[in-house]
């Protein structure tokens, strides 16, 4: 009779587990469960071992840890590429071709100069030049403002993602505690394990996770090459803070108690946070510098040529354009004086706008040359050992008067903010220096020698050997190539993530057709077990009746 009871219990366990599978077939992240049955050890008699039925050893879930880790990692990379691509596509829209682009504004400015070369004394022609110059400067400023808007959007998205990571990490830590407590009873809490896997999968969409499972059933989660995010029932928190090199940018940190450690964005590996930081630190910076170099080189060439001519009032020409000044930003960790100001100082002066590069630079003490400085061009990693006052890439770098201290570093931005501050510096059309130097006073209204030289700048290699129009076309092409590369990466990583998810799901997901077949099988087993119990009861009744007789 006990065999029948055990058989009924085993069949009921199978039916219950199958019903649970069917009920959760459409629940995301649910893993198919199975009752584990083992034969009850046989009883020895003189005639041999006789079976004693079956025991329900537990309930397991269909789970392949390797496939889950592969799918989680692939999902992180796909999320990173998708986040970066979305921002790159927005960036591409800031460099339009045709009449909406900077190239057209440059062409209109130089075309307006054509009338001044033929009619130097015509104030209306001169006014058109100023209007076109003002339009050009405004377009550069709008582009700079659009960059700032993009940066603001990246910051907002980072805040949202970080808040989500912290909430998910706390939930994983809570589940760790519940899983450890439930596992102490001797059986794995499968549904809780599925919930935790789902939370970790959502975490991986934000930041790449390294997972280490402990013997007590808890899962340790680590980010950025080993920084603990979740350890047992304890969760640390991510936070955003101003970047030490440029406070207008966001940096990611992880806090444990009162201490916070800045994370290297290159070590994040995946997740939309990594994609957003890569866009902020690389793609957006590169685009700013492309636009800034174009504006600085164009304004520098026009201003220099202006100063070589004479105005209608027989004065030397002055600047036509104003620009955002080059910046040398001291790192937030640099040594400071008692009032909190950095001791070390660096000043930048543009001496040859045509040689400016679309790059930022890192400046710090040269470890192999005492008294010299190591300048690293961040766009390509080129390093140059310099002394204070040296000129590199058209930029003079002066160190002091406050001398940098040991360990100090500076982020040099020759053109990063040039477009932001571009403006028309001349308001009087008579101030356009159309006449060549040495022109007699009586001929100032008829000499267009310097205006012709200004017009010639249209086709001159004023932007690192290229004309202004060609430089803008190159900027469009550069951004377009970034978008194309980002799109390819996103397509490949999305396909890889989809394949990894499908492979993992093929092991863990519920197949309703299979579950239906199992229901029929377990129903028959249940009926057979009931029959065994019925027969055993009948035999027992017969024996009891015989004993009474």
User: For every one of its 549 residues, what pLDDT tens digit does the chain have, with 9 covering 90 and above?
Assistant: 677 677 777 777 787 888 888 998 888 888 888 888 888 887 767 677 776 778 788 888 888 889 999 999 999 999 999 999 999 999 999 999 988 889 999 999 999 999 999 999 999 999 999 999 999 999 999 999 999 999 999 999 999 999 999 999 999 999 999 999 998 888 889 899 999 999 999 999 999 999 999 989 999 999 998 899 999 999 999 999 999 999 999 999 998 777 889 999 999 999 999 999 999 999 999 999 999 999 999 999 999 999 999 999 999 999 999 999 999 999 999 988 888 888 889 999 999 999 999 999 999 988 888 888 999 999 999 999 999 899 999 999 999 887 788 888 999 999 999 999 999 999 999 999 999 998 888 888 888 899 999 999 999 999 989 999 999 999 999 999 999 999 999 999 999 999 998 898 888 888 888 877 887 887 777 777 677 667 767 766 677 777 776
Shared domain check, 262 and 294: yes
Q: Which of 377, 205, 364, 358 is nearest to 284 (CA)?
A: 358
Residue 482 CA to residue 283 CA, distance in Å, equals: 8
Q: Fill in the DSSP letter of residue 355.
A: G
Q: How many helices (H) and strands (E) does the chain have?
A: 10, 23
328's tokens: 């040398």
Burial of 12 (0-12, 13-18, 19+ CB in 10 A): middle
Q: Is 384 inside any structural domain?
A: no
Q: Which of 248, 199, 180, 176 is nearest to 417 (CA)?
A: 248
Examine residue 47 and state whether it is found in any structural domain, yes or no: yes
Alpha-carbon gap, residue 347 to 327, rounded angstroms: 8
38 to 42, 265, 435, 495: CA distances (angstroms): 12, 51, 103, 42
Integer CA distances (angstroms), 375 to 18, 388, 394, 406, 494, in order: 67, 11, 14, 16, 39
Q: Give the strand order in the sheet containing 361-365.
A: 327-330, 409-413, 361-365, 373-377, 382-386
> Does residue 361 belong to any structural domain of this protein?
no
Residue 22 sits in the same domain as residue 105: no
Are both 138 and 234 inside the same structural domain? yes
Same domain, 117 and 224: yes
Alpha-carbon distance of 317 to 439, in angstroms, equals 13
Q: Is residue 259 part of a domain?
A: yes
Residue 354's closest CA among 224, 460, 434? 460
- Angle at the Cα of 232 from the Cα atoms of 228 and 238, rounded to 5 degrees: 35
* CA distances to 146, 390, 392 from 385, in Å: 36, 10, 10
Picking from 320, 340, 339, 315, the residue whose alpha carbon sits closest to that of residue 330 is 340
Same domain assignment for residues 33 and 105: no
Helix crossing, 65-92 with 123-183: angle to 10°? 170
Q: In what helix (H) or strand (E) does residue 17 lie, and over which residues does it extend?
A: helix 2-23
Question: Does one domain contain both 245 and 288?
Answer: yes
Same domain, 97 and 186: yes
Nearest to 295 by CA among 269, 275, 259, 321: 321
Tokens of 117: 């070369």
- pLDDT at position 549: 64
Token code pair at residue 507: 């092991």
Q: Which of 189, 182, 105 is nearest to 422 (CA)?
A: 105
Predicted pLDDT of residue 119: 92
| Domain membership flag for residue 218 | yes
Q: Report pLDDT for 39.
A: 84
- Statement to judge: residues 172 and 143 lie in one domain: yes
Both 157 and 279 in a single domain? Answer: yes
Q: Does residue 222 sit in the same domain as residue 110? A: yes
Query: Would you say residue 396 lies in a domain?
Result: no
**Side-chain-facing half-sphere of 108: CA atoms under 13 Å:** 18
The pLDDT value recorded for residue 540 is 67
147 & 23 share domain: no
8-state DSSP, 282: I
Domain count, the chain: 2
Residue 412 in any domain: the answer is no
Calpha distance 279→285 (Å, rounded): 8
Q: Cα separation of 223 and 206, whole Å?
A: 11
Can you give the residue range of the structural domain that contains 24? Answer: 2-62+513-548
> Domain for residue 323, yes or no?
no
Look at the block and give the residue holding tokens 């394949």: 499
DSSP one-letter string for 56-79: EEEEEE---HHHHHHHHHHHHHHH
Q: In this structure, are residues 418 and 359 in contact, taking their beta carbons and an 8 Å threshold?
A: no
Which residues make beta-bridge pairs with 234? 231
Quick one: which of 416, 414, 395, 432 has its CA closest to 321?
A: 432
* DSSP reduced 3-state for 102: helix
**Token pair 């004065």: residue:** 315
Question: What's this model's pTM, rounded to 2 decimal places?
Answer: 0.89
Q: Are residues 44 and 132 in the same domain?
A: no
- Using left for φ > 0, alpha for ψ between -120 and 50, and beta otherwise, residue 208 falls in beta
């Amino acid at each position: 009779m006990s065999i029948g009871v055990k058989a009924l219990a085993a069949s009921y366990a199978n039916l219950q587990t199958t019903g649970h599978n069917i009920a959760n077939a459409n629940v995301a992240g649910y893993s198919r469960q199975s009752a584990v049955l083992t034969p009850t050890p046989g009883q020895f008699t003189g005639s041999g071992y006789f079976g004693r039925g079956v025991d329900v050893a537990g309930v397991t879930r269909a789970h392949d840890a390797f496939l889950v880790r592969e799918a989680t990692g692939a999902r992180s990379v796909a999320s990173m590429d998708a986040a970066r691509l979305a921002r790159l596509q927005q960036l591409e829209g800031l460099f339009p071709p045709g009449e909406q682009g900077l190239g057209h504004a440059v062409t209109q400015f130089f075309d307006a100069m054509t009338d001044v070369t033929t009619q130097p004394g015509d104030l209306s022609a001169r006014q058109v030049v100023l209007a076109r110059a003002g339009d050009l400067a405004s377009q550069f400023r709008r582009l700079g403002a659009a960059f700032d808007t993009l940066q603001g959007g990246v910051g907002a998205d980072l805040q949202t993602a970080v808040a989500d990571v912290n909430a998910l990490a706390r939930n994983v830590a809570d589940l760790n505690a519940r899983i450890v407590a439930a596992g102490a009873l001797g059986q794995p809490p499968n549904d809780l394990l599925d919930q935790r896997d789902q939370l970790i999968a959502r975490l991986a969409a934000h930041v790449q996770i390294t997972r280490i499972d402990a013997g007590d059933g808890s899962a340790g989660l680590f980010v950025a090459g080993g920084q603990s995010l979740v350890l047992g029932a304890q969760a640390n928190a991510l936070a955003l803070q101003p970047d030490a090199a440029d406070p207008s940018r966001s940096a990611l940190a992880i806090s444990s108690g009162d201490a916070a450690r800045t994370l290297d964005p290159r070590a994040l590996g995946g997740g939309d946070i990594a994609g957003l930081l890569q866009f902020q630190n690389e793609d957006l910076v590169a685009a700013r510098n492309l636009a800034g170099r174009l504006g600085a080189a164009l304004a520098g060439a026009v201003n220099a040529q202006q100063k070589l001519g004479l105005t209608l009032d027989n004065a030397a020409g002055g600047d036509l354009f104003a620009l955002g000044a080059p910046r040398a930003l001291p790192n937030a960790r640099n040594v400071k004086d008692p009032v909190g100001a950095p001791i070390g100082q660096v000043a930048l002066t543009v001496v040859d706008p045509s040689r400016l590069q679309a790059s930022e630079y890192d400046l710090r003490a040269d470890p192999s040359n005492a008294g010299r400085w190591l300048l690293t061009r961040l766009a390509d990693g080129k390093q140059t050992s310099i002394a204070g006052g040296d000129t590199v890439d058209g930029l003079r770098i002066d160190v002091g008067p406050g001398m940098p201290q040991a360990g100090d570093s500076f982020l040099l931005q020759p053109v990063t903010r040039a477009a932001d501050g571009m403006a028309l510096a001349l308001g009087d059309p008579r101030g356009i220096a159309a006449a060549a130097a040495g022109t007699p006073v009586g001929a100032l209204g008829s000499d267009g020698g310097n205006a012709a030289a200004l017009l010639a700048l249209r086709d001159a290699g004023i932007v690192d050997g290229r004309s202004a129009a060609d430089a803008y076309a190159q900027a469009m092409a550069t951004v377009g190539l970034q978008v194309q590369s980002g799109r390819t990466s996103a397509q490949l990583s999305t396909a890889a993530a989809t394949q990894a998810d499908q492979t993992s799901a093929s092991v863990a997901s519920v197949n309703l057709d299979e579950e239906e077949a199992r229901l029929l099988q377990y129903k028959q087993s249940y009926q057979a077990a009931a029959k065994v119990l019925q027969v055993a009861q009948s035999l027992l009744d017969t024996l009891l009746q015989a004993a009474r007789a």
